Every structure is written in C-alpha cells, then in structure tokens.
Amino acid sequence: MNKKDSEIIAAVLTQSGYVQVSDEDTADVFIVNTCSVREHAEQRALGFIAGLKHWKHARRVVAVVGCMAKRLAHDIATRFPFVDIILGPDAYRKIVTFVEDSLHGTRILETELTDETYCGIYASSTAVTDFVSIMRGCDNYCSYCVVPYVRGHARSRPFDDICQEVENLVQHGVKDITLLGQNVNEYCHGEVSFAGLLRSVATIPGVFRLRFLTSHPKDLNNEIINAVKKCDTLCEWFHIPMQSGSNRILQLMNRCYTRERYLNLVARIRQAIPCATITTDLIAGFPGETEDEFFETLDLMNTVRFDDAYLYRYSVREGTKASQYPSLPETVVKRRLQEMIMLHGKIMVEKAHEMYGKEYEILIEAPAKNNASRGKTRGNKDVVVHEHLNPGSVANVIINDVRGRTAIGTIKKGA
Ligand code: SAM
Ligand code: SF4
C-alpha cells in the first residue's frame, strides 16, 4: 500500500516537472513515506528521519508523510525541527504547493483524513508487476489495528478510474497487476461489486495476470471464488489473513469469523480451485492468549498448510481497543513467534518439494545469480529458472530442483 502511495506522490511531482533521483546528494527534496502498523516500523522510520538532519540545509526540503506522519505529527514536528512538511495519507495531491511553500520558509502540517481516492492520478511504470489501489481506508476496527485511525474510513475508487489506470499500466508493458485495498472484498462503487470489478478488469485487453490483496475471511464469498475460477487472467492465489487459530482470540480481535468458518472457506476454495495457493497473516502473543490458544494457531497452520504466511508478534498500538488489555511478557511473545516461524519454515520446505516434477507457467521478473532468472507462478510462488530470460517473458517450467524453500526449474522442452 505504501509502495503504491509512494508512486502516487512521485506521479504528482513528476507531472509538475520534478524528477525522481536515486542519489540523495543530488536531491532537493527528501520524502519519507512511513508505516504505523507495528511499532518496529515506526522506530525504524524515526531513526531514519533523525539521520536526515545531516542531509538537510536551507535549500533542501524534508517531508515525512504517511500513516506515522498522521499519527505522530506533533511529536515529529517537535522532535525534528528540520522537517519542513508533515502529511497524512490523504494530502498528497497538494504536495507540489507544499514543497514550494516550504522553500519560502513555511512549515506545513496537513494530516486531515478526507474521502480522497487519488482519482485521475496514474503512476507510470516500467516494471513487470504493479499495484492498482481500488480502495482506501478501513471500517473493520480489528481491535489490534491502527489502520482505521490513520487511513480513515473505507471508500472505493470509481470503477472507470481503476480501468483507466489498468489500461495505462498494460500499455507500459505491465503484465501482472494486483488490485489493492485493506479489504478488497468490500469494494463497492455504484452498482459495481468486487466480483463485478474483477470480472471486468480481468477482460481488459492486455491484462495477462490479475491478483487482489487483501481479502477478509468474513467477506470472501463464492461469487469471488467463482470469478477466479472462471477468468483465465485471474490468478489462483488467495491471501486471507487468519490472525489466530483460537475462537476466543478471534472474538477479542473483532475479526467476525470463527476457526470453523475459516476452515470452511479454505475447503470451499480448494474444492472449487484445487491448484489455488492460500497465504495468510498470523499474530503471535495477542493480549491474554493462553498457551493452549497459541497451540490452536500452530494446529491451524498444520491443518491448512499455508503456501506462505506473514508472521508478526503482537505490537501494542496506542488508541486501539486491544491497547487497553494487559500485554503478555515479551519473552513469551518472542518465543511463540519463533515457534510459528519454525513450523512455517518446515511447511514451506515441504511445499517447495511438492512442486518437484510439476510444470508451472512462470512470468519472469528479474535476473538471478549465475545467469539464471527469477519469476513467479500464477499462485505467486517464487521460482528460479536455469536460463537467462528477459523480465516480462513467460516460460513453461518443470521444477527439477529444490533448495531450501526455493523451487528451481528448467524450461519445458518443445514449449
Ligand atoms: N487489512 C488486512 C487484513 O485485515 O487482513 C491487513 C492489513 S494490516 C496492515 C497487515 C497485517 O499486519 C495484518 O493482517 C496483521 O496480521 C498485522 N498487524 C496489524 N496490526 C498489528 C499489530 N498491532 N500487531 C501485530 N501485527 C499487526
Ligand atoms: Fe486493520 Fe482489520 Fe482493517 Fe485489516 S481489516 S486494515 S487488520 S482494521
């Protein structure tokens, strides 16, 4: 989401003649786009901003933007007097004026949340894969999560605007597009539902692969599963964050589904689309999680055998409901996360071995070591191909080697 937001900021500035540079010595403006989801991300951003003191001088502008800028605007302003601009996630449209004002000595602090969807701003891309934001904000208020407070209420971007951005990306050669939102299943604009949006975008000429991120288990319905099953360009990959395997913890998290309902969803997906990959997010050490409840999460991991998982230790976020609950000792949380990482690693290795001997369509994304190439399956699995292929090319690959959790293959003869 932040990567996409950075592209939006770059697009706004580029339209006014600014040029993106990778060497900070040649830059006039330094923009730090920040995340607030976990404390660790904020600490890293704060450390990074502190280091910019040495870069800053009178004719240079430092901007801190994004969720942490929204959440800690006044702290940042006080702690870092050299920061010229502080912007929340809805203020990027005016960034050019803000930069110019700050060059005239005005300090800017703009963190109001609005209905902004950045309609009409299309980032150009030269990559093989790219994201298209279809929604912003979130109304689900999971008890641990800061997103609704820093990104505002859920709103959907107009259908035509999404299609326009997808067409632009396709014209620039993008092959694999991911539709983005905190809970894309809730997309709704006028008469267009998320399943309707998927069916329409999937048939835009030139779209080669289409994905979506993130689905909420409470809202991923059969119509969406059927759209994936029926549209050739829609990839068979479902990212469905589970968060915990325990019903009591799920209720405390305000997730609005049970373990049984989640397992039923997984079964429905696998029955409809046997080759589907299912990935998830899990949190270790939510306040009050007992040892037995933690084992329910490990048990769920063993039952579903996710194709990949983002594993987090619970991080207290000020202002959320869960921040009022007493935290578990840090040693317990760390140990539980470690156990989850170990189990997940073992499953990932087994999953990579299951790919052995099978054939996959690989979209090449980048070169790899030793004149090889790196790409992805439709199910979003990384594969190394023993040949040099240009990014954007597509190959049918047979997996004939597995190292750790990486599947390696060669191009199918005669393909
Ligand atoms: N909207 C998506 C959903 O509900 O599945 C996820 C968005 S959130 C930015 C990404 C992931 O961060 C969540 O799925 C959750 O696992 C994790 N996360 C969010 N808040 C957290 C917290 N306070 N501590 C630890 N992990 C957290
Ligand atoms: Fe956060 Fe829950 Fe919204 Fe996801 S659905 S962004 S976890 S509040």
pLDDT band at 414 (very low <50, low <70, confident <90, very high): low
CATH superfamily of 359-411: Nucleic acid-binding proteins (2.40.50.140)
Average pLDDT for the chain:
97
Q: How far is the CA of 52 from the centre of ligand 2 (A)?
A: 32
pLDDT band at 400 (very low <50, low <70, confident <90, very high): very high
Nearest CA to ligand 2 atom 1: 145
Q: How far is the CA of 254 from the centre of ligand 2 (A)?
A: 10
pTM: 0.96
Nearest CA to ligand 2 atom 5: 140
What is the per-residue pLDDT across 219-267, written as a single tens digit (0 to 9) for each? 999 999 999 999 999 999 999 999 999 999 999 999 999 999 999 999 9
Ligand 2 atom nearest residue 139's Cα: 3
- Under DSSP, the state recorded for 321 is G
Residues of the chain with CATH 3.40.50.12160: 2-110
Q: How far is the CA of 367 from the centre of ligand 2 (A)?
A: 35
Nearest CA to ligand 1 atom 5: 241
Residues of the chain with CATH 3.80.30.20: 129-354
pLDDT at 111 over 80: yes
Mean pLDDT of the 278-305 span: 98
pLDDT of residue 123: 85
pLDDT of residue 415: 56
The ligand 1 site (C-beta within 6 Å) comprises 37-38, 144-145, 147, 182-183, 214, 216, 241, 243, 281, 283, 312, 314-315, 317
pLDDT of residue 285: 98
Pocket test for ligand 2, best of 140, 215, 315 (most atoms within 8 A of CB): 140
Nearest CA to ligand 1 atom 25: 314
Q: Which is higher by pLDDT, 58 or 151?
A: 151
pLDDT of residue 90: 98
The ligand 2 site (C-beta within 6 Å) comprises 138, 140-142, 145, 147-148, 182-183, 216
What is the per-residue pLDDT across 22-48, written as a single tens digit (0 to 9) for each? 999 999 999 999 999 999 999 999 999
Mean pLDDT of the 213-218 span: 98
Q: How far is the CA of 246 from the centre of ligand 2 (A)?
A: 18
Residues of the chain with CATH 2.40.50.140: 359-411
Distance CA 93, CA 249 (A): 40
Q: Which of the four CATH numbers 2.50.20.10, 3.40.50.12160, 2.60.120.10, 3.40.50.10420 does domain 2-110 have? A: 3.40.50.12160
DSSP, collapsed to helix, strand or coil, labels residue 265 as helix
Q: What is the DSSP string of 7-65?
A: HHHHHHHHHTT----S-GGG-SEEEEEE--SSHHHHHHHHHHHHHGGGT--TT-EEEEE
Mean pLDDT of the 166-182 span: 96
Q: How far is the CA of 219 from the centre of ligand 2 (A)?
A: 13
Query: Could you tell me which residues are beta bridge partners of residue 72?
Result: none
State what percent of residues in the chain have pLDDT above 90.
98
pLDDT of residue 354: 97
∠ CA 70-74-79, rounded to 5°: 120
User: Which ligand lies nearest the alpha carbon of 315?
Assistant: 1
Distance CA 128, CA 366 (A): 9
pLDDT of residue 208: 97
pLDDT band at 413 (very low <50, low <70, confident <90, very high): confident
CATH superfamily of 129-354: tm_1862 like domain (3.80.30.20)
pLDDT of residue 34: 98
pLDDT at 407 over 80: yes
Burial class from Cβ neighbours inside 10 Å (0-12, 13-18, 19+) for residue 327 reads: middle
pLDDT at 74 over 60: yes
